[in-house]
Amino acid sequence: MRLDFKKIYLQQAINEDLFWRTRATDIIARFPEAEVVPVKSHWQIDELAGADPATWMQTKRDVLVLGIKSGLTHTLNGRSANYIAASSSNGCLSACQYCYVARRKGGANPLTIFINIEEVAGSIRRHQRKLGAKLAPDGCDARFWTYDIGCNADLSLDAMVCDNPGYLVREFATMEYAKATFATKTVNDDYWTQFEPRERTRIRYSVMPNKLARYVDIGTSPISERIASVNKLVEAGYEVHLNFSPVIIYGEGDEWREDWKELWREIDDTLTAKAKAQMQCELFFLTHSQALHDINMQWNPKGETYLWQPEIQVAKKSAPDLLVYEYEMRRGELARFERELAAHLPYCAVRYSF
C-alpha cells in the first residue's frame, strides 16, 4: 500500500516535549507534500467530525492525525486477551465495512498515531509487574498475561507510518510476565521479521472466505497472502493464530458454509507442520447496527447485501442499538461451525467464540 497523506493534523501539545516533537517530525518528513494543521485535540477536529460519509475512503487516504494518548489504563477483557492495553493508535487505513471501532472523529475515522509510545509501553510494563507471574493457565494464554495492543487499529498498517508497533514488540520481548497480541488483515512481513519477538507477540490474522472478503474487507491484504504469511511469521519467532471473523450468513442454503470449508482446505494445504503445531483460533459471528448500515449504504451498498439481513437479525440484549443474529439460530450455527471446523482443521483449537 502506497501512502500519500494530503493533510496531517498535529496535536499542539506534542511540540512541548523534545522527544515527541522529534518523533512527529520524523513521521511528517515521510509525507513532505502534506499540509500540517495544528489542533488542540486529536479527537475534536471539526473538519473530520462533519465529513460526508460518502467521502469515507478518500478521507482515510488523505488524512493522518498525530496525537498524545492521555488515558494509560488497561481494561480487563478475558476473551482475546487478559487486558485491552492503552492503545498506541486509533482508527485504520483500511475500511472493513463491519468495523466496530468508534468513529468519534467522523464517519471515516482516519488513522491517529499516538506519539508518546514510551509512556504507553511503560504503563504496560508497570501493570504486568504489579500482577506478577500468572499462576494458572487460562483461555488467553498458558503462561503470560496477554495484552491486546491493537484493539482499535491494525498495527501492520501503522508500521507503514511509524515504528510504534516495532517499539512494542521489542518491549514485550523483555517483559517478565506479559505477551502482546493484536489482530491484523494486512501482510507486512518485511517489517515484522526484522525483530526478535521471542514468542512474546501473538499475531492474529483475521480471515474469511475470499468471495466475501472482496466486498467487505476493503483496503486489506488478500486472504491467500494472509494465510501464506503465517508460515513466515512463525519462523521469525511469532505466535500466529487465526481469527475466523466475522462469520457472516449469506446466500442460499449452505452457500456460506461451503465457502468456509473451501477456506479451511486452503489453510490446511498452505500451513507448515510448525505453523499447524502452534495454531489456535477465535471465531465470532457478525455484529451490525442500523447506524452503520446507513453510513455504509452511502459508500459501499454492495457490501450491505451481505451484512444487512433484518429478517434474521435482532437487537443485542446487552446493547439494543446493535444487531446480532437471532439468538437461538446463532447458538445452533456456532455449534455447527465449530464441529465442521474441527473436522477440517483438527489441530486448530478454538480459544474463544461467540
In this structure, what CATH number is given to the domain that contains residue 161?
A: 3.80.30.30
Binned average pLDDT, 10 residues per bin, the chain of 354 residues: 92 97 97 97 86 78 96 96 97 87 65 97 98 97 97 95 98 98 98 97 98 94 98 98 97 96 98 98 96 89 96 96 97 98 98 94
User: Is residue 111 one of the residues assigned to a domain?
Assistant: yes
**What are 150-209's pLDDT values in tens digits?**
998 999 999 999 999 999 999 999 999 999 999 999 999 999 999 999 999 999 999 999
CA distance 202 to 178: 11
User: Is residue 2 one of the residues assigned to a domain?
Assistant: no
| Cell matching residue 204 | 492474529
- SS3 category, 240: strand
User: Is residue 179 one of the residues assigned to a domain?
Assistant: yes
User: Is residue 158 one of the residues assigned to a domain?
Assistant: yes
User: Is residue 1 one of the residues assigned to a domain?
Assistant: no
User: Is residue 72 one of the residues assigned to a domain?
Assistant: yes
- SS3 category, 211: helix
**What are 21-62's pLDDT values in tens digits?**
999 999 999 999 999 999 999 988 888 877 777 777 788 899
User: Is residue 146 one of the residues assigned to a domain?
Assistant: yes
Question: What pLDDT score was predicted for residue 342?
Answer: 98
DSSP string, 39-100: ES-SS--HHHHT--GGGHHHHHHHEEEEE-------EE--SSSSEEPPPSEES-SS--TT--
- The structural domain count of the chain equals 1
Give the predicted TM-score (pTM) of the model.
0.96
What domain range includes position 228?
Answer: 7-353
H-assigned helices in 193-300: 210-216, 223-235, 255-270, 273-277, 290-299
Question: What pLDDT score was predicted for residue 95?
Answer: 85
User: Is residue 74 one of the residues assigned to a domain?
Assistant: yes
| Cell matching residue 146 | 496477554
CA distance 302 to 286: 17
Question: What pLDDT score was predicted for residue 49?
Answer: 79
Pairing type for strands 111-114 and 63-67 reads: parallel
Question: What pLDDT score was predicted for residue 59?
Answer: 86
